[in-house]
Chains A and B, each alone.
Chain A
Amino acid sequence: MYDIKPLEEEWERYNSKRKRPMYIFFILLIIIFLALSFLTYNKIDLLSTVTKYLNKVELVKVEEPTSKSIDINDTNSTNLIVVSEANVVDNALVTHEDINTIKKPRVHLNIIESSNEEAFKDVANRFMQTHNIDDSLFLAKSYYNKANYKKAIYWAFETNKVNAEIDESWFILVTSKAKLGHENEAIAILEKYIKRNNSTEANNLLYKIKKGTL
């Protein structure tokens, strides 16, 4: 036996070739195991995401009655809460993206009476940014109702600067002037208004100021 070394080498090659399917099998087994682990992990993650999402939907649903219960005409309400779409979203802990996916009824800017001075400041700040007359008119009305006629005049004037065609704003301005004792000035403003918009309501108000029965 003189060819033992080549024979040994040949056997080494044979042996490694024979074991190759076994190695491939183990590698496949590891790949399958890793793939299953990955899928299992993702499944749990997906489940938690879905659960979280459902919880958020639940929160939104809980919040909805609260926003609906706020009535703009409810004068008995003691709290003045500025309820906006943004506020509802914040309270519901729902992100902007979630809102897009959840068909939530649009909540308009509702203004409700409140004694909270901070809320007035927020509305005033917002008006400075947006110049939304709903905000300025709200403030004018609110201050008027609180007999803060100076501030009522200011916000009525701000409203008129944006839109001079709003009757309510002019009436708050004129009435507040009259309440502060500036009847002549109030009458002059009102007469000019009547010349431009001859409304019955404006004439009635003029009559009341002149007679001093306001």
Chain B
Amino acid sequence: MKSRYENAKAAFIDSVDVEDYIELDTSIKAYKQLEHSIDKPLKMILLFGKPGTGKSILLNRIQSKLKHQKEIHYFDVPPVNEKEFFHKLFKILTKQDLPPNTVVNFSALVEFCKNLKDKREIIILLDEAQMYNSEMMEKIRLLSDSRAVKFVISLHKTDNEDLIAKEHFKSRIWEVIELKNVTKEDQFTYIHKKLLKKNLFEVANSIKEKHMKLIHTFTEGNYRECNKLLFTIFEICEYYDENDPSNIDYDNIPQKIIEMAALKLGYIHV
């Protein structure tokens, strides 16, 4: 017989699948802000925040929502090299594949983009932009100057990445959107909605207010950490459910299990 915790565990597998997107007050606000910024005649939009604050899923969500209205493209993983990146960009801009054994002439590509001004508006969502080297970033900047291509650059928030933003795009970034870790209340809603989406009402009800406080303390409101912790909690619950049911209270998840999960993930130490 399948454990009830198996589905609960699956609900917290870390992914950027738009199907897993949970609407919270903070995420709705960030979405609307980004949507509004995209509509503005801006060259570049900087989306930044700590890892696990929902940048990727937000970009996915907006691409999914606007793809039928706008020319919007999502670059989830940075290409392995510059050639591949421009190959991909060439295909988006020209809607043609690059002929075999050829390379993109960047100057020609810029000129092509300039000719697209007022004809097309292409939006490129660059996730994990901190992985692009400075030369590529400079070329992206030149492309954005054509005003035909708009870039949404998603960065992890570190001192170094702030420097990239400041030095290369200071004058071109007109809009900055920062994503932050969620509050305890939002995290509570997030966990409940995740479970209820899978019809796991009993499991959702077994997580009480005191558990939420503990989870928020361990994860500091970070989505990715929250997913990891909940996944581990339900993994332990699943083990007890199958092997030693006396160790588990189905109406109230024991604090011991939450702390065991936190120990396993290194949030707390002996």
- Count A interface residues, CB 8 Å: 11
Please report the C-alpha to C-alpha distance between residue A74 and residue B239 in the assembled complex, in whole angstroms. Answer: 110
Binary flags per residue of B220-241, CB closer than 8 Å to A gives 1, else 0: 0000000000000001101100
Instruction: Decide: A1 and B259 in contact? CB cutoff 8 A.
Output: no
B263 at the interface (CB under 8 A from A): yes
B70 at the interface (CB under 8 A from A): no
Instruction: Decide: A17 and B263 in contact? CB cutoff 8 A.
Output: no
Nearest-CB distance from A5 to chain B (Å)?
11
Nearest-CB distance from B78 to chain A (Å)?
35
Binary flags per residue of A9-32, CB closer than 8 Å to B gives 1, else 0: 011011101000000000000000
Binary flags per residue of B243-270, CB closer than 8 Å to A gives 1, else 0: 1000000000000100110011000111
- Count B interface residues, CB 8 Å: 13
- Chain A residue at smallest Cβ distance from B257: A11
Instruction: Decide: A14 and B238 in contact? CB cutoff 8 A.
Output: no
Instruction: Decide: A7 and B270 in contact? CB cutoff 8 A.
Output: no
Instruction: Decide: B260 and A11 in contact? CB cutoff 8 A.
Output: yes
- Chain B residue at smallest Cβ distance from A16: B270
Known: A10-B263, A11-B260, A14-B259. Contact between A4 and B270, CB under 8 A?
no
- Chain B residue at smallest Cβ distance from A4: B239
- Chain B residue at smallest Cβ distance from A1: B239
With A4-B239, A11-B256 already in contact, 18 other A-B pairs whose C-beta atoms are closer than 8 Å: A1-B236, A1-B239, A3-B264, A4-B236, A4-B243, A7-B236, A7-B260, A7-B263, A10-B263, A10-B270, A11-B259, A11-B260, A11-B263, A14-B259, A14-B263, A15-B256, A15-B259, A17-B270
Q: Name A's B-contacting residues (CB within 8 A).
A: 1, 3-4, 7-8, 10-11, 13-15, 17
Q: Name B's A-contacting residues (CB within 8 A).
A: 235-236, 238-239, 243, 256, 259-260, 263-264, 268-270
List 27 A-B residue pairs with CB atoms under 8 Å apart, sorted by A's residue number: A1-B235, A1-B238, A1-B239, A3-B264, A4-B236, A4-B239, A4-B243, A7-B236, A7-B260, A7-B263, A7-B264, A8-B260, A10-B260, A10-B263, A10-B270, A11-B256, A11-B259, A11-B260, A11-B263, A13-B270, A14-B259, A14-B263, A14-B269, A14-B270, A15-B256, A15-B259, A17-B270
